[in-house]
Structure 1
């Protein structure tokens, strides 16, 4: 089994959309325009490819964006710098292969050299104890709860994980010109207009 974790490409988008919308109630459905927003704006958008087949994807955004998710806004109102995992989806045929852990290791590696906090949420209605346990064993702690969108929206648990490596990276590199110019530390290329300087790899946000 040949596994590759790589940045999403435009030719992946149809398969990503189909995979997202087949995931059931645990994942909010998307349309093509919403997926295009992520393709153009997400700081982290990577897919897992197994033997040439799309097996899953993870999307994460840093603070300071114009994303209107109530959960992203919740973190924006409380934390000055973070990476927010918006969604992770694994195809049914590739579940129980450890891809969730592989993605979380990869997004942690991305985040810990840029921000002090990794954030996400899990649905409590319906509650999935396997998902709650997964996040707990991976070091996430609940920092709040809210209902999405309205008083009748689904209850979510808002989770955060402190990234202890960030302090060292910050004082060693980010405060002295930025991260080393290495391929594995580079930001993904966006198809949107040029990102502001604070989105370049290794630079601190004001």
Structure 2
């Protein structure tokens, strides 16, 4: 059956928490309070549904967020405007079935109308080559490395230029058309002048 990507619902937070904490060392654990904070403040918090059950989730936010992650701060100290993917989790039984690509396509569709870049990180624990390959095949490139002060884990810091942003921004500014796939941000976003950190064809 098809994959449906949609906004998370409040009653699903317990299921999202269980998915996150069963994901293994590639994803930092969460508690209910932290997850609730994401629900209340994250600009983008969506789940994937397949065969009537949750197959995963993705949480993201813009560079104007007050997010307290050291990885997010690393990007913000170096790049003025970007959409940051804090975490993406796919249920183990659904991995390899296209859920991750569906999420990234949906997140990019959202982000490219608002930000010139997407940013994320991948932990460098010696077993994440498939994850790095996945991101590389989706257009992400390493722009540095960072040791997280919270955990001591080293992460590859990845960015991807969103080539449609300049045209959308110059054509529509902040007045995007009112169409379903251009869902408005869940919280206000601060916009600053973009600065290129990658190239587009």
Equivalent pair of 1:43/1:187 in contact (CA under 8 Å): no
Give the structure 2 partner of residue 103 of structure 1. 103
Q: Distance in 1 between matches of 2:73 and 2:101?
A: 26
Q: What SS does the corresponding residue of 2:27 show, helix, strand or coil?
A: coil
Task: Report whether the alignment pairs 1:66 with 2:66.
Answer: yes
Q: What SS does the corresponding residue of 1:185 show, helix, strand or coil?
A: coil
Q: Would you identify which runs of 4 or more consecutive aligned residues in structure 1 move more than 3 Å?
A: none
Equivalent pair of 1:82/1:116 in contact (CA under 8 Å): yes
Deviation at 1:107, TM superposition (A): 0.4
Give the structure 1 partner of residue 175 of structure 2. 178
Give TM-score, length-normalised by structure 2: 0.91
Deviation at 1:6, TM superposition (A): 0.3
Give the structure 1 partner of residue 88 of structure 2. 88
Q: Structure 2, unaligned stretches of length 5 or more?
A: 194-201
Q: Distance in 2 between matches of 1:123 and 1:10?
A: 29
The one-character-per-residue Cα deviations of 1:56-104 (angstroms, maximum 9, x if unpaired) are 0111110122211110000111111110001111111111111111111
Give the structure 2 partner of residue 192 of structure 1. none
Q: Distance in 2 between matches of 1:2 and 1:133?
A: 24
Give the structure 2 partner of residue 138 of structure 1. 138
Greater relative contact order, per chain length (Cα 8 Å cut-off, separation 6+): 2
Give the structure 2 partner of residue 121 of structure 1. 121
Deviation at 1:123, TM superposition (A): 0.6
Deviation at 1:126, TM superposition (A): 3.6
Q: Structure 1, unaligned stretches of length 5 or more?
A: 190-194
Task: Report whether the alignment pairs 1:168 with 2:167.
Answer: yes
Give the structure 1 partner of residue 184 of structure 2. 187
Give the structure 2 partner of residue 55 of structure 1. 55
Equivalent pair of 2:90/2:99 in contact (CA under 8 Å): yes
Equivalent pair of 1:7/1:188 in contact (CA under 8 Å): no
Q: Distance in 2 between matches of 1:44 and 1:17?
A: 16
Equivalent pair of 2:3/2:99 in contact (CA under 8 Å): no
The one-character-per-residue Cα deviations of 1:139-163 (angstroms, maximum 9, x if unpaired) are 111111011106x701110000000
Equivalent pair of 2:84/2:119 in contact (CA under 8 Å): yes
Higher mean alpha-carbon deviation, 127-136 vs 15-24, is at: 127-136
Give TM-score, length-normalised by structure 1: 0.89
Aligned length: 193
Q: What SS does the corresponding residue of 2:181 show, helix, strand or coil?
A: helix
